[in-house]
Amino acid sequence: MKITSVRARVFEWKGKTVPPQGNFCSNAMDLLYSRQETMKTFRFHQWTVVEIETDTGLVGYGNVALAPKVAKQIIDQYLTPLVMGQDPWDYEYLSQRMYRATHAWGRKGVGMAAISAVDLAIWDILGKSVNKPVFKLLGGRTKEKIPCYYSKLYRTDLDEMQKEAETFLKQGFTAFKMRFGYGPKDLQKGVVENLKSVAAVREVIGYDTDLMLECYMGWNLEYTKRMLPKLAQYQPRWLEEPVIADDIDGYAELNAMNIIPISGGEHEFSLYGFKQLLDRKAVSVVQYDTNRVGGITMAHKINALCEAYSVPVIPHAGQMHNYHLTMSTLASPMAEYFPMFDVEVGNELFYYIFDGEPVAENGFLDLRDDVPGLGLSLKTEFLDQFDITE
Ligand SMILES: O=C(O)C(=O)C[C@@H](O)CO
Ligand SMILES: [Mg+2]
């Protein structure tokens, strides 16, 4: 089998979007600008879709949501020439070829995200070529169904957050991730607001459920050290990305406090990036995203590394490319799950581009044994609400 074409298209959402709400999620820019400015940067309304065809007539789909227009350029100009005419079953060789050819500038960030999209399409082809779902090629079914956690609860009025939590508690979710709205620049008032929001959500979901707390890089080491003892009373399962991804020493210091497990990884890349996090005991939960970290070829290796270090893997963002990694390893106990909503931040855009995503039932997801490849196809229903760049 040979790769005969690679097509990367950028889907830019032009449909209805929920306008940015002030203080809806702390983020890395908060330490620089006022909240109104930072909310405008917090948008993922483009997605690059990669389609790879083979001489046997198979088509594989990949995707990338980090800097999609730049990722497309990297795929078109650098990665396509490296995989054209190659056998997709040589996926380790192709992964190394892309990783080493772009290593001088692409070993972190959008270079790895672009490689991920090509690698995802290759694995989609591999599954389709043997009529097996990708998870069957990685280790098979390790779970009857995948436990998942409801992920949204962006900061808004507390009664609105409580209504949202109530709604999805009634749908059977037993694990929830919420976002903070305040950080260091909001001083003690922000501390009080952050604690009030956690108390409000706990009041609804109780203590026989998991609650995870998302900072999305919007705090710093000093503020987090002050917040951890205050948050411990709410028994969170983890505190996510309190500091920026490069502050690995900060992660390690916070995790070593052993007050609340620190999670991270959605902004880390490659096997070596996660070796560093694990060697430094920087995180208690690994959260790579398979469409960022280097694709399935790289994520499969990181799963094994996490198993050896006894650190659970709970990939960022849910979405089909991550579900196959979670299904195929005991190192991954659960998945993140974004239900389909009106487009806001953009995490939900996946549902407007692809068909095939499983819908959670009672807090569980299932992947079918009889759907080959990743199990995705392009949705036509919303095509008229996208500007698509070839
Ligand atoms: O889902 C996550 O972990 C994210 O980081 C998504 C982003 O929207 C902030 O929550
Ligand atoms: Mg996150």
* Domains annotated on the chain, with CATH: 3-131 (3.30.390.10), 136-379 (3.20.20.120)
Q: How far lies 107's CA from each of 104, 114, 162, in Å?
A: 7, 11, 41
Atom of ligand 1 nearest to the CA of 151: 1
On average, the pLDDT of the chain sits at: 96
User: Which ipTM was obtained for this model?
Assistant: 0.98
Cα distance between residue 285 and residue 277, in whole Å: 10
pLDDT digits (tens, 9 = 90+) for 161-171: 999 999 999 99
Task: Summarize the confidence of residues 213-227 as an average pLDDT.
Answer: 97
Atom of ligand 1 nearest to the CA of 345: 8
Q: Is there an atom of ligand 1 within 6 Å of 152 CB?
A: no
Task: Summarize the confidence of residues 33-39 as an average pLDDT.
Answer: 70
Whole-prediction pTM value?
0.97
Alpha helices in the chain (DSSP H): 35-41, 68-74, 80-83, 91-101, 103-106, 110-129, 134-138, 158-170, 187-205, 221-231, 248-256, 270-279, 296-309, 320-327, 350-353
Which ligand is located closest to the Cα atom of residue 346? 1
Nearest CA to ligand 1 atom 1: 317
pLDDT digits (tens, 9 = 90+) for 328-384: 999 999 999 999 999 998 989 999 999 999 999 999 999 999 999 999 999 999 999
Examine the residue annotation and report whether 300 is marked as an active-site residue of this protein: no
Residue 193 CA to ligand 1 center (angstroms) comes to 20
